[in-house]
Structure 1
Amino acid sequence: MAYQKGIIKADDQSITKLYGERTGQVSCQYLLPHITKTANILDVGCGPGTITVDLAKLASEGQTIGVDNSEGIIKQASTSFPPAEVPNLKFQVGDATDLKDFPDSSFDIVHAHALLVHIPDPVKVLKEFYRVCKPGGIIALRENSPSVVLSLKPDLPGIRGYWDRALVMIPKMGGHPAAGVDLEKWAKEAGFEENRGELAVSTGKFWSPSHLDRVSGPAADQAIQYGMATKEELDTWAKAFEEWEATEGHEWVLEAGELLCWKGK
């Protein structure tokens, strides 16, 4: 949750393992029916590209661009999904707060998944999304709300303790524990309803994978270095996640907010 301050790197193995399980089918059900074959798509905060590639395949006659502020993760995505395999897809380094490489009204769809939760000024980002989206085009956003836990099975004190600490750290690092809840408010502040723009807001479920790699190994050493946790706490949390992973039927579900905006013409 600390990408903006450079404490957590988007291409850390513990991070890419968390995000690598995300796909278009898992994360974009609310958007998929609106993607046409000819759509030009910008996926901001694309990470390892596992969602981006699915969007590109659906819009096979358009162009899809994945943007992320981490050079390392862009190299990883470009290697995983080379042009020879997906010719209408490319990845490039970019800043969500300043999409200067893209002119006004460039894309039919501007998409972001679990990005704004990490951004200190989400409204500034959404104004950039609005700018590069074509009139009549779609801005699609899906954000989890870390503060809203819908289900934790088994409900282990160690995991609750870990997550309570995370919820304290998120705002300190410039993030938003209720990002999914705040989507509609941010969209209105960014002017998404101007020129008769339309908003459709819904809620869904965000299945979180294990965070064992975030509380053990190099990531644990980093947490200790930055004063985010003690070794004793990390050991307790790691044991809890090991027990959680070994339990049949385990799940950890957060609330997700989903928003579609049809930009006014």
Structure 2
Amino acid sequence: MFLNIASINIERSRHLSRVEAFVARQRPDLLCLQELCERDIAFFEALMGSRMSFAPMARYPDEGSANVVGIGMIARAEALGEVAAEYYSGNPEHIQEMAFFTAEGKRTADPLSIAEVMLSATLRGFRVAVTHLNVTPLGTSTPYQRESAGKLIALAQAQARRAGDLLLTGDFNAPRGRATFAMLAEHFIDGVPAHYTSSIDGSLHRSGDIPFMVDGLFHTPGYQLQNVSLSTGVSDHCALSCRLSKA
């Protein structure tokens, strides 16, 4: 038994045709999305033939009333089981409009305006979770990001204990080699091969090529990953794919 999984930061509605083409080519059993607009849920439900599980994180400014952004999980023509949305910062009852500040000449989202959540579900006996950790200026490991990572790790460990194992996917905004990434790798196996040094698609990202490996696959010892790959031409982040099976 195995699951083919794809995890993608889709940058809201900017690359839907590219994402659609990728899904048509790869045909993942499970799609884990970050920066998913609530208004695009119907698009993905038609594409995958099932219902989306969605957890809101913020309202993106200047995009009209239908501007709620979050994370989502959807299986191909199957229902997800035991879905849980666990917030580790912010309040799901009071989703805020995303605020921005400028640091070292770059516009950066204010993490205090964005709720953080781990969305988890079971599919074919596998427990999988997705999250989107707060962004920091120039990929620095800030005290707030490390605090959030600690809360995320505790939630993921609890899910793993209940289910037996866990694969945690998503955009962690924590470059490999820095302190926040090291926290995650201390508690879970880093499933992305070391030869991948960036998960940013410089041809589509507004900042161009950035040597940051920020998208991740972290798992417990009872799971193993095969065919881990990054695909360009999908969004401003590469699509991260793998085959998940029991060790």
- Report the structure number with the largest CA radius of gyration: 1
Normalising by the residue count of structure 2, what TM-score does the alignment of the two structures yield? 0.39
What's the TM-score once normalised by structure 1's chain length?
A: 0.37
- Higher helix fraction: Structure 1 or Structure 2? 1
* Bigger fraction of residues in strand: 2
